[in-house]
C-alpha cells in the first residue's frame, strides 16, 4: 500500500520522539488502520529509504543549536533588562523629590520581569523560554506605549499575535 508523505512525516516524528516499534505501529494504525511495521523496517522500508537515523541526528543537532542560541538570548535579554533598570534608577535618582510615577511603575515592571526570568533560570536549570520572552515583550510594549502609543499598538497588533501563534505551534 502506498502512503502519503504525511504518513511518512508522522511516522518519522514518532520515531524522533523515541517511541518503540510497537508504539509507532499503534499510533500509525489510528490513522492508517492497515499500517504494519514492515513499512518501516522491511525491504525498502522507510527507516532506510529515507535515512531516518541521519535525519534524527541532524534534527537533534539543530535542536541543540537552537536551545543554545535561546539560552544565549536569555542572557542578553536579562542583561538588557538589568541595564534598563540601572538607567531608570539613575533617572529616578536625578529627579530628586519630583519623581515621575510612571518611571516608578516602569521600574517595578522591569524588576518583576527580571525576578521572573531569574527564578525560571534557577528552578532546576530550566527556563520557560516562551514565557520569559513574552514577559520581556510585555514590558517592552508597555515602555513603547508610554513613549509612542501608536507605535506600540502597531507593534502589538502586527507582531505580538504572530509571535504567540508561532510559540503555540512549536509547543
| pLDDT profile of the chain (171 residues), mean per 10 | 82 88 92 90 87 86 77 78 89 88 88 80 59 67 74 71 64 48
pLDDT at 127: 53
- The model's pTM: 0.45
pLDDT at 25: 92
Cell 514492515 appears where?
A: 38
Q: Determine the straight-line distance between the first and last CA of the chain, rounded to whole angstroms.
A: 33
| All structural domains of the chain with their residue ranges | 5-50, 70-170
Q: At what angle do helices 101-122 and 129-147 cross, to 10 degrees?
A: 170
pLDDT at 151: 76
* Cα 77 from Cα 144, distance rounded (Å): 17
What single-letter DSSP state applies at residue 90? H
pLDDT at 166: 67
pLDDT at 79: 85
C-beta separation of 52 from 12 below 8 A: yes
pLDDT at 61: 84
For residue 142, give the nearest of 157, 154, 152 by alpha carbon.
Answer: 152
* Cα 140 from Cα 81, distance rounded (Å): 10
For residue 6, give the nearest of 21, 26, 22, 28 by alpha carbon.
Answer: 28
pLDDT at 128: 59
Largest CA distance in the chain: 81
Amino acid at each position: 500500500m502506498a502512503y502519503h508523505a504525511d504518513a511518512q512525516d508522522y511516522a518519522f516524528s514518532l520515531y524522533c520522539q523515541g517511541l518503540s516499534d510497537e508504539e509507532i505501529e499503534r499510533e500509525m494504525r489510528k490513522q492508517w488502520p492497515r499500517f504494519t511495521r514492515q513499512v518501516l523496517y522491511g525491504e525498502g522500508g522507510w527507516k532506510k529509504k529515507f535515512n531516518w537515523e541521519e535525519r534524527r541526528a541532524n534534527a537533534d543537532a539543530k535542536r541543540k543549536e537552537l536551545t543554545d542560541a535561546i539560552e544565549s538570548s536569555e542572557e542578553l535579554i536579562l542583561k538588557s533588562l538589568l541595564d534598563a533598570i540601572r538607567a531608570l534608577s539613575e533617572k529616578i535618582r536625578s529627579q530628586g523629590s519630583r519623581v515621575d510615577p510612571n518611571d516608578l511603575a516602569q521600574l517595578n515592571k522591569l524588576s518583576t520581569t527580571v525576578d521572573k526570568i531569574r527564578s525560571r533560570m534557577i528552578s532546576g536549570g530550566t527556563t520557560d523560554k516562551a514565557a520569559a520572552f513574552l514577559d520581556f515583550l510585555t514590558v517592552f510594549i508597555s515602555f513603547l506605549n508610554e513613549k509612542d502609543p501608536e507605535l506600540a499598538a502597531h507593534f502589538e497588533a502586527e507582531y505580538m499575535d504572530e509571535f504567540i501563534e508561532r510559540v503555540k505551534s512549536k509547543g
